[in-house]
A = this chain, B = another copy of it.
Amino acid sequence: MGDTQPQTAAGKVLLHFTMSLDGFVAGPDHEMDWMAGAAFRPNLIEEYARTTGAVLGGRDGWDAYPDPGGIYGGAWSGPVFVLTHHPEDAHPAEGVTFLNCDPAEAVRIALAAAGGKNLEVFSASIGRQLLELGLVDEIDLHIAPVLLGDGIRLYDNPGGKPIRLSRLGEADPKSTVNVRFSPATPAG
Protein backbone atom coordinates (compact mmCIF):
# COMPACT_ATOMS: atom_id res chain seq x y z
CA MET A 1 0.00 0.00 0.00
CA GLY A 2 1.28 3.46 -0.87
CA ASP A 3 3.61 1.63 -3.27
CA THR A 4 3.64 3.02 -6.80
CA GLN A 5 5.50 0.07 -8.34
CA PRO A 6 3.81 -1.91 -11.16
CA GLN A 7 3.03 -4.86 -8.89
CA THR A 8 0.19 -2.86 -7.38
CA ALA A 9 -1.74 -3.45 -10.60
CA ALA A 10 -4.78 -5.71 -10.25
CA GLY A 11 -4.18 -9.43 -10.52
CA LYS A 12 -5.84 -11.63 -13.10
CA VAL A 13 -9.10 -13.52 -12.75
CA LEU A 14 -8.06 -17.08 -13.46
CA LEU A 15 -10.08 -20.25 -14.02
CA HIS A 16 -7.51 -22.83 -12.98
CA PHE A 17 -8.52 -26.48 -13.03
CA THR A 18 -7.30 -29.96 -13.57
CA MET A 19 -9.71 -31.31 -16.18
CA SER A 20 -10.37 -34.78 -17.56
CA LEU A 21 -9.75 -35.13 -21.28
CA ASP A 22 -13.51 -35.19 -21.82
CA GLY A 23 -14.12 -31.86 -20.09
CA PHE A 24 -14.94 -32.56 -16.44
CA VAL A 25 -13.35 -30.74 -13.52
CA ALA A 26 -14.93 -33.01 -10.87
CA GLY A 27 -16.93 -36.21 -10.68
CA PRO A 28 -20.75 -36.24 -10.37
CA ASP A 29 -20.51 -35.73 -6.57
CA HIS A 30 -17.49 -33.41 -6.74
CA GLU A 31 -15.09 -36.37 -6.47
CA MET A 32 -11.47 -35.51 -7.17
CA ASP A 33 -9.98 -39.01 -6.76
CA TRP A 34 -9.77 -39.46 -10.54
CA MET A 35 -6.81 -37.04 -10.46
CA ALA A 36 -4.73 -39.63 -8.61
CA GLY A 37 -1.74 -40.72 -10.66
CA ALA A 38 -1.79 -37.73 -13.01
CA ALA A 39 1.66 -36.19 -13.34
CA PHE A 40 2.13 -32.44 -13.25
CA ARG A 41 5.12 -30.40 -14.29
CA PRO A 42 7.74 -29.77 -11.56
CA ASN A 43 7.25 -26.75 -9.31
CA LEU A 44 3.62 -26.33 -10.35
CA ILE A 45 2.35 -26.01 -6.79
CA GLU A 46 5.04 -23.54 -5.79
CA GLU A 47 4.36 -21.50 -8.91
CA TYR A 48 0.63 -21.13 -8.27
CA ALA A 49 1.06 -20.70 -4.52
CA ARG A 50 3.30 -17.72 -5.31
CA THR A 51 1.00 -16.04 -7.83
CA THR A 52 -2.35 -16.63 -6.11
CA GLY A 53 -3.70 -13.85 -3.90
CA ALA A 54 -7.24 -15.06 -3.22
CA VAL A 55 -9.61 -17.88 -4.03
CA LEU A 56 -13.30 -17.71 -4.94
CA GLY A 57 -15.35 -20.89 -4.72
CA GLY A 58 -18.94 -22.02 -4.86
CA ARG A 59 -21.16 -23.48 -2.20
CA ASP A 60 -21.30 -27.03 -3.58
CA GLY A 61 -17.53 -27.27 -3.73
CA TRP A 62 -17.23 -25.84 -0.24
CA ASP A 63 -19.72 -28.32 1.15
CA ALA A 64 -17.72 -31.15 -0.45
CA TYR A 65 -14.32 -29.83 0.78
CA PRO A 66 -14.91 -27.39 3.69
CA ASP A 67 -11.20 -26.93 4.45
CA PRO A 68 -9.13 -24.08 2.99
CA GLY A 69 -6.00 -25.80 4.31
CA GLY A 70 -6.13 -28.24 1.40
CA ILE A 71 -5.62 -25.59 -1.28
CA TYR A 72 -2.43 -26.37 -3.20
CA GLY A 73 -1.77 -29.13 -0.72
CA GLY A 74 -1.34 -26.60 2.07
CA ALA A 75 1.36 -24.67 0.19
CA TRP A 76 -0.91 -21.64 -0.12
CA SER A 77 -2.83 -19.67 2.45
CA GLY A 78 -4.79 -16.48 2.02
CA PRO A 79 -8.28 -15.07 1.76
CA VAL A 80 -10.93 -17.51 0.55
CA PHE A 81 -14.40 -16.43 -0.53
CA VAL A 82 -17.39 -18.71 -0.98
CA LEU A 83 -20.39 -17.47 -2.91
CA THR A 84 -23.68 -18.73 -1.44
CA HIS A 85 -27.29 -17.66 -1.12
CA HIS A 86 -27.34 -19.15 2.37
CA PRO A 87 -24.26 -18.10 4.37
CA GLU A 88 -26.15 -18.88 7.59
CA ASP A 89 -25.91 -22.64 7.24
CA ALA A 90 -22.43 -22.88 5.69
CA HIS A 91 -19.67 -24.62 7.63
CA PRO A 92 -17.46 -21.77 8.90
CA ALA A 93 -13.67 -21.81 8.76
CA GLU A 94 -10.91 -19.34 9.58
CA GLY A 95 -9.96 -17.13 6.67
CA VAL A 96 -13.13 -17.98 4.75
CA THR A 97 -15.70 -15.27 3.96
CA PHE A 98 -19.16 -16.19 2.73
CA LEU A 99 -20.58 -13.78 0.20
CA ASN A 100 -24.22 -13.46 -0.76
CA CYS A 101 -24.04 -11.21 -3.82
CA ASP A 102 -23.83 -11.42 -7.61
CA PRO A 103 -20.71 -12.99 -9.15
CA ALA A 104 -19.37 -9.67 -10.52
CA GLU A 105 -19.48 -8.11 -7.04
CA ALA A 106 -17.84 -11.21 -5.57
CA VAL A 107 -14.99 -10.84 -8.07
CA ARG A 108 -14.51 -7.18 -7.15
CA ILE A 109 -14.32 -8.04 -3.45
CA ALA A 110 -12.03 -11.04 -3.90
CA LEU A 111 -9.73 -9.29 -6.37
CA ALA A 112 -9.27 -6.42 -3.91
CA ALA A 113 -8.36 -8.92 -1.21
CA ALA A 114 -5.83 -10.57 -3.54
CA GLY A 115 -3.58 -7.52 -3.20
CA GLY A 116 -2.35 -7.41 -6.78
CA LYS A 117 -1.93 -11.16 -7.12
CA ASN A 118 -4.31 -13.42 -9.06
CA LEU A 119 -7.80 -14.42 -8.08
CA GLU A 120 -8.37 -18.12 -8.71
CA VAL A 121 -11.97 -19.15 -9.34
CA PHE A 122 -12.44 -22.77 -8.27
CA SER A 123 -16.11 -23.14 -9.28
CA ALA A 124 -17.20 -24.10 -12.79
CA SER A 125 -20.66 -22.58 -12.35
CA ILE A 126 -19.27 -19.25 -11.15
CA GLY A 127 -16.72 -19.51 -13.95
CA ARG A 128 -19.48 -19.87 -16.52
CA GLN A 129 -21.23 -16.75 -15.26
CA LEU A 130 -17.97 -14.78 -15.25
CA LEU A 131 -17.19 -15.94 -18.81
CA GLU A 132 -20.58 -14.68 -19.95
CA LEU A 133 -19.92 -11.38 -18.17
CA GLY A 134 -16.49 -11.05 -19.80
CA LEU A 135 -14.78 -11.07 -16.41
CA VAL A 136 -12.34 -13.95 -16.94
CA ASP A 137 -8.77 -13.08 -17.90
CA GLU A 138 -7.39 -16.58 -18.33
CA ILE A 139 -8.41 -20.22 -18.43
CA ASP A 140 -5.49 -22.37 -17.29
CA LEU A 141 -6.06 -26.12 -17.50
CA HIS A 142 -4.08 -29.23 -16.72
CA ILE A 143 -5.68 -31.92 -18.88
CA ALA A 144 -5.38 -35.28 -17.15
CA PRO A 145 -5.09 -38.56 -19.07
CA VAL A 146 -8.49 -39.94 -18.06
CA LEU A 147 -12.05 -40.06 -19.43
CA LEU A 148 -14.73 -39.57 -16.78
CA GLY A 149 -17.93 -39.79 -18.80
CA ASP A 150 -19.92 -37.78 -16.24
CA GLY A 151 -19.46 -35.07 -13.64
CA ILE A 152 -19.12 -31.33 -13.20
CA ARG A 153 -18.31 -29.85 -16.56
CA LEU A 154 -15.80 -27.07 -17.12
CA TYR A 155 -18.42 -25.15 -19.09
CA ASP A 156 -22.03 -26.26 -18.89
CA ASN A 157 -24.22 -23.91 -20.89
CA PRO A 158 -27.02 -25.48 -22.96
CA GLY A 159 -28.60 -22.95 -25.28
CA GLY A 160 -25.68 -20.56 -24.85
CA LYS A 161 -23.42 -19.28 -27.57
CA PRO A 162 -19.91 -20.72 -28.10
CA ILE A 163 -17.13 -18.75 -26.43
CA ARG A 164 -14.13 -18.26 -28.69
CA LEU A 165 -10.75 -18.49 -27.01
CA SER A 166 -7.20 -17.42 -27.82
CA ARG A 167 -4.35 -19.73 -26.99
CA LEU A 168 -1.75 -18.08 -24.82
CA GLY A 169 1.95 -18.64 -25.32
CA GLU A 170 1.52 -19.76 -28.94
CA ALA A 171 2.40 -17.95 -32.14
CA ASP A 172 -1.10 -18.56 -33.51
CA PRO A 173 -3.85 -17.90 -30.93
CA LYS A 174 -6.29 -20.00 -33.01
CA SER A 175 -4.04 -23.05 -33.05
CA THR A 176 -5.47 -26.39 -31.98
CA VAL A 177 -3.68 -28.58 -29.45
CA ASN A 178 -2.99 -32.08 -30.75
CA VAL A 179 -2.99 -34.72 -28.01
CA ARG A 180 -2.74 -38.48 -28.46
CA PHE A 181 -3.57 -41.22 -25.98
CA SER A 182 -4.02 -44.95 -25.76
CA PRO A 183 -6.34 -46.59 -23.23
CA ALA A 184 -4.16 -47.62 -20.26
CA THR A 185 -6.50 -50.26 -18.87
CA PRO A 186 -8.89 -51.64 -21.46
CA ALA A 187 -12.19 -52.70 -19.95
CA GLY A 188 -12.89 -56.40 -20.21
A145 touches B166 (CB 8 A): yes
A74 at the interface (CB under 8 A from B): no
Partner of A183, one of B18, B21, B164, B178: B164
A176 at the interface (CB under 8 A from B): yes
B183 touches A134 (CB 8 A): yes
Known: A136-B183, A165-B184, A177-B179. Contact between A150 and B146, CB under 8 A?
no
B23 touches A176 (CB 8 A): no
Could you say which of A135, A160, A167, A169 has the most chain B C-beta atoms within 10 Å of its C-beta? A167
Interface residues of A (CB under 8 A from B): 18, 20-24, 28, 34, 37-41, 128, 131-150, 153-169, 172-188
A163 touches B146 (CB 8 A): yes
Write out the residue numbers on chain B whose beta carbons fall within 8 Å of the beta carbon of A149: 128, 155-158, 160, 162-163
Known: A145-B167, A155-B147, A173-B184. Contact between A140 and B178, CB under 8 A?
yes
